[in-house]
């Protein structure tokens, strides 16, 4: 009762003006860079050379996008790869992580402390980039394989412990009751634990999907084939060399000034095409993101 | 007796089922985490692809010698430690300040709107951030130089001037992470007992005094834990930041090259497997030591927050 009165009181207080101004300014700092790259993608290369990057384009121009949509093969390939690894990585990642987390949360599990240490130790010590690279390329033949983009980071240890902590907080009697009724551990996991853990699984699924959508590191290490690179990796290569995209573009769109060969604007258009959908989509899942920051006590 | 046996058998079967549930994760970690741990012998080998890791001849400490004798060691160690320490300190201070200001926003819908905008940059990959920084810093078209030139001064060739980059990297890393980083402190502030602030207010404390004497002391434990844990990982850098935002430009290595980028280049550009694995191992070992030490400190200070 007392608590609710207090929260009400807190609600009635007004936010002071300087606080609003602070956040409006900060909001601008966050948004202006976005608006700048959007406007650069809608400018002609000549305008960019003359006036530089601007918050609003001098004149709206669609040349860069015309080039992109006339030659969609590379972009579509990268989209396909990215969507594929996001879906596969999220589905299997969440399933495997939930499975091992359930195992760690069950009190009847015999080897629990050994398993906990086994799962946790890789956060303390790693073989490093070179050893992983040699093993993945020489022994596992992951070069140019999409498995290289999904499998190595599939088990995120932080997420495993987040799910385990959540499951541990649930009343153990739920599991025990099913046990007495003769349910197998599989049944308990799929029928009771998974539905129970929905909130934390949503958070983990979101974090995993974001991670896979932004995947470029393994792509950069293991993928040589242009048809199999992820969106972010393609962006990275374009930053170093704009020709990566241009040399794959045979179709010059109609009604385009041939002197106006796209450069920076094409780069920025490519950036918008690859991050745009995500930027519209992910903010709706913000609460899972913030939840992930505040949960997640890892303790053995 | 029979009953007992049956129960024990059931318990054994349950454990088999549980272990089979853990199996995919166990196997994946075995392949991608534990196997490479044994791969650290590479650092002591003269690696030949045709002979494999174990078959290659031993090189004793030759790989380490080369690295420890070169001038690169001091450079990448200095950059790694100084930059990461800077990121940790300034990052925590800014995130706490941000959370404190956020705490002053009273309406829940406003909090949500501001948070959404503030964490937008953390959805981006470092590649996309690299593009945005490029739009600001590109020497002839970049917004920053256009502004400088509008004031009549001469533009700066940002991508060749190494001396500016510690600050640039700091700002970029703050921009990307401060909104998200503040959430943990904001949650801690929400947990602070309201009565204390009320009492302070009645005693005539102004807003700043309330913050300094009531709010901040309450969240000090969270701040300390974050600080110590971050310091534990100080030898590992965010590769994406140092590689993509600097566009891997050689002129900037003197202030931006860290252990992780150095290892990457030694491996992928120079193909020097011996040296890159030596540096990798060096990093893994110091990392393990700092983590154990910092965790030991946390366990002393507040046992509930230690990792193990």
B18 → chain A, closest CA residue? A103
Beta carbons of B37 and A126 less than 8 angstroms apart: yes
**Angle of CA points B233, B235, B236, to nearest 5°:** 70
Chain B closest-CA separation from residue A99 CA (Å)? 5
Contact: A216, B184; criterion CB under 8 Å: no
Beta carbons of A100 and B25 less than 8 angstroms apart: yes
Beta carbons of B197 and B215 less than 8 angstroms apart: yes
CATH 1.10.3720.10 residue spans of chain A = 73-222
Which of A18-27, A86-95, A254-263, B262-271 shows the lowest per-residue confidence on average (mean pLDDT)?
A254-263
First to last CA, chain A: 38
Count the residues in chain B: 308
Concatenated DSSP letters of A141-163: --TT-THHHHSTTSS-HHHHHHH
Chain A closest-CA separation from residue B77 CA (Å)? 17
Measured between CB atoms, does A33 come within 8 Å of chain B?
Answer: yes
For chain B, the C-alpha Rg in angstroms (whole number) is 25
Q: What pLDDT was estimated at residue A31?
A: 86
User: Distance (Å, rounded) from C-alpha A70 to C-alpha A218?
Assistant: 29
Per residue, what are the HEC states of A235-255? HHHHHHCCHHHHCCCCCCCCC
Strand partners of residue B58:
B45
Beta strands in A12-128 (DSSP E): none
User: Distance (Å, rounded) from C-alpha A164 to C-alpha A204?
Assistant: 12
Residue B289: which residues within 8 A CB-CB, separation 6 or more? none
> Which one of B14, B25, B287 would you mutate to disrupt binding with A, by most A Cβ within 10 Å of its Cβ?
B25
The pTM is what? 0.89
**More reliable by pLDDT, A258 or B280:** B280
User: Domain A73-222, CATH 1.10.3720.10 — does that match?
Assistant: yes
Q: What pLDDT was estimated at residue B237?
A: 93
> Is A300's pLDDT higher than 50?
no
Alpha-helical regions (H) of B138-272: 143-150, 165-190, 194-202, 207-210, 216-232, 239-240, 253-256, 259-268
Which among A49, A108, A289 is the nearest to B119, CB-wise?
Answer: A289
Which residues 109-138 of A have a C-beta within 8 angstroms of B?
109-111, 115, 118-120, 122, 124-136, 138
User: Distance (Å, rounded) from C-alpha B272 to C-alpha B266?
Assistant: 5
Of A2-16, A202-216, A238-252, highest mean pLDDT: A202-216
Residue B207: which residues within 8 A CB-CB, separation 6 or more? none
**More reliable by pLDDT, A254 or B201:** B201
Q: What pLDDT was estimated at residue B112?
A: 87
Query: For A197-230, how does the pLDDT look when each residue is reduced to its tens digit (9 = 90+)?
Result: 998 999 899 989 999 999 999 999 999 998 899 9
CB atoms < 10 A from the CB of A177, how many? 13
For chain A, the C-alpha Rg in angstroms (whole number) is 25
Q: Quick one: DSSP state of residue A15?
A: P
Q: Maximum distance among all alpha carbons in chain A? A: 78
Task: Grade residue A95 by pLDDT with cuts at 50, 70 and 90.
Answer: very high
The mean pLDDT of chain A is 85
What mean pLDDT do residues A13-37 have? 87
Beta carbons of B301 and B226 less than 8 angstroms apart: no
Q: What pLDDT was estimated at residue A3?
A: 47
Contact: B21, A186; criterion CB under 8 Å: yes
User: Distance (Å, rounded) from C-alpha A99 to C-alpha A186?
Assistant: 9
Q: Which residues of A touch B28 (CB under 8 A)?
A: 96, 151, 154-155
Q: What pLDDT was estimated at residue A4?
A: 47
Task: Grade residue A5 by pLDDT with cuts at 50, 70 and 90.
Answer: very low
- Low-confidence residues of chain B, pLDDT below 70? 1-8, 305, 307
Task: Grade residue A98 by pLDDT with cuts at 50, 70 and 90.
Answer: very high
Which tokens go with B301? 């200070």
Q: Quick one: DSSP state of residue A227?
A: G
Q: How many CB pairs under 8 A join A and B?
A: 272
Measured between CB atoms, does A174 come within 8 Å of chain B?
Answer: no
Which among B31, B122, B132 is the nearest to A33, CB-wise?
Answer: B132
Q: Which residues of A touch B306 (CB under 8 A)?
A: 299
Task: Kindly state the percentage of chain A with pLDDT values over 70.
Answer: 86
Which among A11, A29, A264 is the nearest to B106, CB-wise?
Answer: A11
User: Distance (Å, rounded) from C-alpha A30 to C-alpha A12?
Assistant: 29
Which residues 56-95 of A have a C-beta within 8 angstroms of B?
none
Which among B123, B131, B307 is the nearest to A271, CB-wise?
Answer: B131
A129 → chain B, closest CA residue? B280
Closest CA to B276 of B14, B47, B86, B38: B47
Task: Kindly state the percentage of chain B with pLDDT values over 70.
Answer: 96
Concatenated DSSP letters of B37-100: HHGGGGGGB---TTTHHHHSPB-TTHHHHHHHHSTHHHHHHHHHHHHHHHHHHHHHHHHHHHHH
Q: What pLDDT was estimated at residue B252?
A: 92
- Which domains are seen in chain B, by residue range? 2-55 (no CATH), 62-305 (1.10.3720.10)
What mean pLDDT do residues A70-79 have? 88
Concatenated DSSP letters of B208-232: HHHIIIIIHHHHHHHHHHHHHHHHH
Determine the 3-state secondary structure of B153 from DSSP.
Answer: coil
Query: For A135-170, how does the pLDDT look when each residue is reduced to its tens digit (9 = 90+)?
Result: 999 999 999 999 999 999 999 999 999 999 889 888
Task: Grade residue A1 by pLDDT with cuts at 50, 70 and 90.
Answer: very low
């Amino acid at each position: 009762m007392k608590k609710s009165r207090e929260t009400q009181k807190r609600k009635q207080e007004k936010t002071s003006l300087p606080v609003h101004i602070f956040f409006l300014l900060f909001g601008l700092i966050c948004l202006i860079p976005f608006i700048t790259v959007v406007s650069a993608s809608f400018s002609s290369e000549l305008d960019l050379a003359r006036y530089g990057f601007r918050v609003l384009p001098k004149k709206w121009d669609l040349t860069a996008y015309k080039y992109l949509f006339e030659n969609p093969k590379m972009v579509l390939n990268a989209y396909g790869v990215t969507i594929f690894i996001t879906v596969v990585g999220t589905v299997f990642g969440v399933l495997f992580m939930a499975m091992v987390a359930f195992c760690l949360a069950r009190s009847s599990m015999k080897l629990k402390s050994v398993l906990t240490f086994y799962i946790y130790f890789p956060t303390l010590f790693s073989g490093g980039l070179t050893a992983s690279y040699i093993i993945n390329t020489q022994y596992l033949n992951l070069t140019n394989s999409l498995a290289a983009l999904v499998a190595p980071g599939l088990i995120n240890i932080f997420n495993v412990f987040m799910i385990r902590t959540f499951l541990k907080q649930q009343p153990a009697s739920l599991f025990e009751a099913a046990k007495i009724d003769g349910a197998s551990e599989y049944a308990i996991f799929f029928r009771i634990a998974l539905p129970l853990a929905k909130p934390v699984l949503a958070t983990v699924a979101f974090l995993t999907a974001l991670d896979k959508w932004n995947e470029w590191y393994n792509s950069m290490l293991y993928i040589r084939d242009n048809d199999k690179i992820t969106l972010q990796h393609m962006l990275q290569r374009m930053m170093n060399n704009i020709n990566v995209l241009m040399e794959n573009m045979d179709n010059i769109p109609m009604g385009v000034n041939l002197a106006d060969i796209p450069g920076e604007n094409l780069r920025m258009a490519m950036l918008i095409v690859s991050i745009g959908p995500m930027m519209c989509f992910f903010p709706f899942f913000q609460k899972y993101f913030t939840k992930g920051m505040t949960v997640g006590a890892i303790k053995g | 007796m029979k009953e007992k046996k049956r129960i024990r058998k059931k318990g054994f079967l349950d454990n088999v089922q549980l272990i089979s549930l853990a199996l995919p994760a166990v196997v994946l970690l075995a392949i991608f985490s534990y196997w490479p741990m044994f791969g650290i012998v590479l650092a002591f080998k003269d690696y030949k692809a045709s002979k494999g890791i174990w078959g290659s001849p031993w090189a004793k400490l030759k790989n380490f010698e080369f690295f420890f004798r070169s001038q690169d060691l001091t450079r990448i160690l200095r950059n790694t430690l100084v930059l990461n320490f800077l990121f940790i300190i300034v990052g925590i201070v800014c995130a706490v300040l941000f959370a404190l200001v956020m705490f002053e926003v009273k309406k829940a819908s406003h909090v949500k709107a501001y948070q959404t905008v503030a964490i937008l940059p953390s959805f981006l990959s470092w590649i996309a951030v690299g593009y945005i920084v490029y739009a600001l810093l590109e020497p002839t078209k970049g917004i920053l130089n256009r502004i400088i030139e509008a004031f009549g001064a001469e533009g700066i060739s940002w991508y060749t001037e190494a001396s500016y980059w510690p600050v640039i990297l700091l700002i970029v890393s703050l921009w990307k992470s401060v909104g998200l980083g503040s959430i943990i402190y904001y949650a801690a502030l929400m947990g602070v007992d309201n009565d204390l602030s009320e009492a302070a207010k009645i005693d005539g404390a102004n807003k700043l005094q309330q913050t300094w004497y009531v709010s901040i002391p309450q969240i000090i434990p969270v701040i300390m834990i974050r600080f110590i844990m971050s310091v534990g990982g100080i030898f590992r850098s965010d590769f994406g930041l140092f590689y993509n935002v600097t566009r891997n430009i050689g002129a900037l290595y003197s202030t931006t090259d860290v252990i992780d980028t150095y290892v990457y280049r030694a491996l992928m550009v120079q193909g020097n497997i011996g040296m890159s694995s030596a540096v990798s191992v060096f990093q893994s070992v110091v990392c393990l030591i700092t983590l154990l030490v910092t965790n030991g400190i946390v366990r002393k200070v507040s046992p509930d927050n230690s990792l193990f």
